[in-house]
């Protein structure tokens, strides 16, 4: 039996019994964990607001001899109120949480991935860069940290550096990267602008992005990333279909 404090983001929760909830948290210290908050559904509970999905929290955990965890105290570090006030941003944030939940088992994760999550949520909150770029960057970095790095800077076969002079470009899901115009290998054909955009997203070069110039390329880049995630994952992401609809609606409004 032990007590300890974790820093975490609330991924999701489900009701348990008459007044309890089971929370799934992604923690800095232990990766993904589940823990019970007893009595949190009671009207007089002071912890409920701090434990909303997406919140960045610090929580005191009690773990018994069987490994069952109970949340005893909680403090909200950041509730990301600006994200939650914007439908498109909150949906993208929830999509990120779903990715983490799907790609990790309980007690699996790392501090580096936690930092990537917090950095992305903080940037979504400030909203200095387009949300779709931040989500795509998060996905690419997460894949890298999980051992499935996307090669979007050079040919996966001959290692020729990506250039706007390539006549055509493909993405091969089994190789996890680009195929240049001279190498004989199957793959998903994409516009050269899409490949260049993927490379810029990986490098976090968001400076002169505009939907007028890159909107259609972003849709294709987004599809390539999520198709690759599905390829390396055991199941299709729950939010993919709805995310596609939202992404298309937003782009249609802005183009």
- Asked whether the predicted pLDDT for residue 32 surpasses 70, the reply is yes
pLDDT of 172-213, one tens digit each? 999 999 999 999 889 999 999 999 999 999 999 887 766 655
Q: Are strands 177-179 and 188-190 parallel, antiparallel or unpaired?
A: unpaired
The structure tokens 């005893």 sit at 72
Instruction: Give which of 221, 168, 173, 172 is closest to 194, Cα–Cα.
Output: 221
How much is the pLDDT for 221?
94
The residues that bridge with 31 in the sheet, in sequence order, are: 27
> Quick one: average pLDDT of 143-150?
92
CA 146 vs CA 141, 171, 200: distances in Å: 9, 19, 20
Q: Which two tokens stand for residue 88?
A: 């498109």
Q: What is the DSSP letter of 51?
A: G
> Quick one: average pLDDT of 223-235?
85
Architecture of domain 129-254: Up-down Bundle (1.20)
Q: Which two tokens stand for residue 102?
A: 């799907």
| CB 67 within 8 Å of CB 59 | no
The CATH class of 2-78 is: mainly beta
Q: Give span(s): CATH 2.40.50.140, the chain.
A: 2-78
How much is the pLDDT for 248?
54
* pTM (predicted TM-score): 0.86
pLDDT band for position 18 (50/70/90)?
Answer: confident
**CA Rg, the chain, in Å?**
20
Task: Tell me which of 234 and 28 has the higher pLDDT.
Answer: 28
pLDDT of 40-71, one tens digit each? 888 667 776 789 999 999 999 999 999 899 99
> Quick one: average pLDDT of 27-35?
95
Run of H or E including 216: helix 211-232
Q: Give span(s): CATH 1.20.1440.120, the chain.
A: 129-254
Q: What is the DSSP letter of 161?
A: B
pLDDT band for position 214 (50/70/90)?
Answer: low
pLDDT of 78-96, one tens digit each? 999 999 999 999 999 999 9
């Amino acid at each position: 039996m032990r007590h300890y404090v974790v820093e975490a983001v609330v991924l999701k929760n489900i009701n348990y019994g008459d007044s309890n909830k089971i929370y799934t948290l992604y923690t800095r210290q232990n990766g993904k964990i589940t823990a019970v908050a007893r009595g949190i559904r009671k009207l007089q509970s002071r912890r409920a607001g701090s434990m909303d999905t997406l919140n960045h929290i610090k929580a005191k955990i009690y773990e018994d001899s069987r490994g069952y965890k109970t949340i005893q105290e909680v403090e909200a570090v950041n509730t990301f109120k600006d994200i939650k006030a914007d439908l498109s941003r909150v949906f993208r944030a929830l999509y990120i949480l779903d990715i983490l939940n799907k790609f990790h088992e309980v007690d699996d994760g790392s501090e580096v991935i936690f930092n990537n999550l917090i950095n992305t949520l903080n940037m979504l909150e400030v909203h200095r860069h387009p949300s779709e770029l931040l989500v795509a960057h998060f996905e690419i970095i997460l894949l890298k940290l999980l051992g499935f790095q996307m090669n979007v800077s050079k040919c996966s076969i001959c290692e020729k550096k990506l250039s706007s002079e390539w006549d055509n470009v493909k993405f091969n899901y089994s190789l996890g990267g680009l195929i240049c115009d001279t190498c004989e290998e199957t793959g998903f054909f994409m516009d050269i602008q899409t490949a260049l955009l993927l490379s810029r997203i990986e490098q976090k070069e968001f400076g002169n992005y505009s939907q007028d110039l890159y909107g259609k390329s972003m849709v294709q880049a987004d599809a390539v990333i999520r198709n690759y995630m599905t390829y390396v994952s055991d199941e299709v992401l729950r939010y993919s279909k709805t995310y596609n609809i939202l992404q298309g609606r937003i782009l249609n409004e802005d183009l």
